[in-house]
Amino acid sequence: MTDEVVLAAENVTKHFAASRGRRFGLGKRPPVRAVEDVSLNLTAGRITAMVGESGCGKSTVARMLARIYPPTKGRILLRGKEVTDSRAYRRNVQMVFQDPFASLNPFHKVHYHLARPLKLHGHARTKAEVDEQVAALLERVSLTPVEQFMHKLPHELSGGQRQRVAIARALAAQPVALIADEPVSMLDVSIRLGVLRLLEKLAREENLALLYITHDIASARYFADDILVMYAGQLIEQGPSQRVTDDPAHPYTKLLLSAAPDPDQVDDEEDTTDHGEPPSLISPPSGCRFHPRCPVALPTCSTTAPLFTALADDHHTACHLYDPATVAG
C-alpha cells in the first residue's frame, strides 16, 4: 500500500446563485454558501468517509471533485497537479451517484453503459475487446450470469443490481480515485452491506482512493479508514475513524454519534434535548457556524471562527474548546 495522495482539494469553496430569496434593491441575490474553504486529501488504497447531515455540502464537494460543478474558489489537484483537460481528469476520477434509479439512462442496456467509458477512455477498441471487458466488469461486481445481465435494461434490475452496474461503470474508466456519493442510502437495508463490501473489496484490490460520502456515521466507522465531519459547508473534524468515533472532539461530532443508535448501550433515558435545526447557508451564523446549536458554546464562538487545532498528528478539529489561545485566555 502506498501513501500517495492522489486527489486533493485545496480550500475549495462553492457558492450557488440563489434562485429565490430576498433581493437587496436591484442587486444580486445573496449566494448560497454551500461549501466554504474545504481542504482534503485522498490517499491511494485508503477509504475516507465524509459525514454530515443533509444539506451540509457533502454532495457538492463530491460533485466538485467529479468536475460536475466548477469550484468558486480553490484548487483541485490530481497527483499534485491541476488538470485542465477534463477527459484526462475524468479517466482518473469517477463517481458513483446516490440514486441508482436515476443514474442509469432508462433507454440504454447495461452493455451500453459499461461499453461507453471503455471506448471513451481508449481501454478497448474492437468489439471483441469491449465485450470481453464488459463481461469482466460485470463479473467483478458479481452480476452473474454475465450474458444475462449484459442485455438488460435498467428497469429490469433491482436497486442493488443497478448500483452494481453504476459501480462497474465507474470502474470501467480505470480510475485512481472514486467518489461514492451516498451509494447505499437509496437501497434496501438488507442489501446495503453487500454493496459496501463490494466497494471496499474493489478499493483494496485496485488501490483506489475512495471517498465515501454518507450521513450515517456508524457505517463510516465500520467502513472507512478516516473520517471527515462536515457541518454547514465546513470541515469541523478529521481523523482516523477509530479515534473520531471513540473519542470525538467537536461537539457536533459528539451530537452525531449520540444520534446514531448503538446496540451496546441501551439507554432508557429518552434524549429530550432540543438540538435545533441546521443553519441557513444563505446567511450562516457568525463566528463558529455551530454556535447556535452548541451545548458548550463560549462567548468567543459567536464572534470568531475557530481554526483547525491538532489534537494528535492525524486528528484535527476546528473548535475553540481545543484552541490553546482560547483555553489559556
Partner 1 sequence: MPRSPKIIAGGVILVFFILLALVGPVLVDGDPTKTTDVGLAGPSAAHWLGTTQSGQDVLAQVVYGARVSLGVGLLSALIATVLSIVVGLIGGYAGGVVDEVLSLLTNIFLVLPALPLVIVLAGYLPSRGVTSVAAVIAVTGWAWGARVLRAQTLTLRGRDYVQAAKASGERAWRIIFAEILPVEFPVIATSFLATVLAAILAEAGLSFLGLANLSTVSWGTMLYFAQNNQALLVGAWWWFIPPGLCIALIGAGLGLLNFGIDEIANPRLRTVLPKRRKRFGAGR
Say whether residue 87 binds partner 1 (CB under 8 A).
yes
Say whether residue 104 binds partner 1 (CB under 8 A).
yes
Separation of alpha carbons 199 and 96, rounded Å: 10
Binding test (CB under 8 A) with partner 1, winner from 23, 75, 80, 105 = 105
Say whether residue 122 binds partner 1 (CB under 8 A).
no
Residue 103 or residue 245: which is nearer to partner 1 going by CB?
103
Task: Note whether 162 and 102 are within 8 A (CB).
Answer: no
Binding test (CB under 8 A) with partner 1, winner from 29, 79, 109, 121 = 121
Collapsed DSSP state (helix, strand, coil) of residue 35: strand
Task: Note whether 319 and 236 are within 8 A (CB).
Answer: yes
Residue 33 or residue 90: which is nearer to partner 1 going by CB?
90
Say whether residue 84 binds partner 1 (CB under 8 A).
no
Burial readout 131-159 (b: 16 or more C-beta within 10 A, e: otherwise):
bebbbebbebbebeeeeebbeeebeebeb
Can you read off the three cell numbers belonging to residue 51?
A: 459525514
Order of strands across the sheet that contains 308-312:
93-96, 177-181, 209-214, 47-51, 226-231, 234-240, 315-318, 308-312
Say whether residue 169 binds partner 1 (CB under 8 A).
yes
Say whether residue 141 binds partner 1 (CB under 8 A).
no
Say whether residue 199 binds partner 1 (CB under 8 A).
no
Say whether residue 90 binds partner 1 (CB under 8 A).
yes
Residues near partner 1 (CB under 8 A) are 63, 66-68, 86-87, 90-91, 94-95, 97-99, 102-108, 116-117, 120-121, 166, 169-170, 172-173
